[in-house]
Amino acid sequence: MVIKRGPRNPPKEVPMNFKHTLRINERRYTRRAEKNSRNSGVHGYISAMYIREDHPANDAETIIAIAIDLQKHGINTPRVTHRVSQLFATENAGADMHDVLLRLLNRPILNRQRVKFLLSAAARQLGKMHSLEYSHHNSHFRNFVVKGSKVSIIDFKYTKKGKVNWNDPDNIYKHFWLDYAFLKTEFKNIINEQHEMMEKTGKSVGDELTRVFNQHVDLPKFLEKVISRYPTTEQVKSDVFERIKRELSLNDY
Ligand SMILES: Nc1ncnc2c1ncn2[C@@H]1O[C@H](COP(=O)(O)OP(=O)(O)O)[C@@H](O)[C@H]1O
Ligand SMILES: [Mg+2]
């Protein structure tokens, strides 16, 4: 395996167009250079890590160990196929769920079943991950990928594991609050992006599609599903859910 990288003495800040190319058996894998750009290629995907010294993120070894542990417990996460130092390649586990959802939500006829299915599948993966006491710490939908009926979770750069007291709603909330908060932002972003797309195509934001859309992109329902996987009593689950609703002001959501 030949490895070609960017600058030998990389700058402290990662430039947005920083690009890694990894050649494995004559195939070239290129890491996406910028957020939202599409250059994952047809042969697979590189999830190349670039670690800054001052960065608190996990290193490749930790990330791979987390992925293996999650796989062992039946959570969908792509297999790591190659690794060189801090760079590793993972099998292509499909399309970015953020993009998939937006595409679905902007079709003239909404495939409600599909949207519902994808959201519940993502919630199930995250709920299972939490049950193993991992907080993802970057749980937006660009860190979920979709292939057919399989939703996988990726990107464990910031993931943390720690003992959770499953009898204590306060402890549970504190352990996972960042994931809940990320999801709130993610749902808001999806709603805003969908509205922008509609405006561009001259549709009214108040129309039937938006109404149906908001009904499906339902954050409280998503979080309730995540919590439903937790290894604790129904009472504790309900207390955690109430706490989230209060802290993240989900009632006026
Ligand atoms: N195994 C994979 N299969 C399919 N797409 C992937 C895979 N790994 C990463 N991606 C895509 O590349 C994007 C960036 O990868 P990620 O590991 O999340 O790194 P970062 O968030 O640091 O850019 C993801 O949002 C996803 O769209
Ligand atoms: Mg990511």
pLDDT per residue as tens digits for the range 68-85: 999 999 999 998 877 767
Nearest atom, ligand 1, residue 93 CA: 3
pLDDT for residue 199:
80
Contact in structure between 145 and 95 (CB atoms under 8 Å): yes
Reduced to 3 states (helix: H, G, I; strand: E, B; else coil), residue 146 is strand
- Listed as ranges, residues in the chain with pLDDT below 70 are 1-56, 84, 204-213, 252-253
CA of 203 to the centre of ligand 2 (A): 31
With a 6 A CB cut-off, is 43 part of the ligand 1 pocket? Answer: no
pLDDT for residue 91:
82
> For a substitution probing ligand 1, which of 35, 45, 55, 63 has the most ligand atoms within 8 Å of its CB?
45
What the block records as the tokens of 178 is 């960042």
The set of residues, in sequence order, having a beta carbon less than 8 Å from that of 140 and lying 6+ positions away, is: 98, 182, 183, 185, 186, 189
First to last CA, the chain: 50
pLDDT for residue 60:
83
* CA neighbours closer than 13 Å in the CB half-sphere of residue 124: 14
Contact in structure between 59 and 67 (CB atoms under 8 Å): no
pLDDT for residue 50:
54
pLDDT for residue 200:
82
For 184-201, the pLDDT digits (tens) are 999 999 988 888 887 887
pLDDT for residue 46:
55
Helices (H), 132-168: none
With a 6 A CB cut-off, is 142 part of the ligand 1 pocket? Answer: yes
User: How distant is the alpha carbon of residue 172 from its chain centre?
Assistant: 20
pLDDT for residue 7:
42
pLDDT for residue 11:
37
CATH architecture classification, 95-252: Orthogonal Bundle (1.10)
pLDDT for residue 179:
97
With a 6 A CB cut-off, is 239 part of the ligand 1 pocket? Answer: no
With a 6 A CB cut-off, is 76 part of the ligand 1 pocket? Answer: no
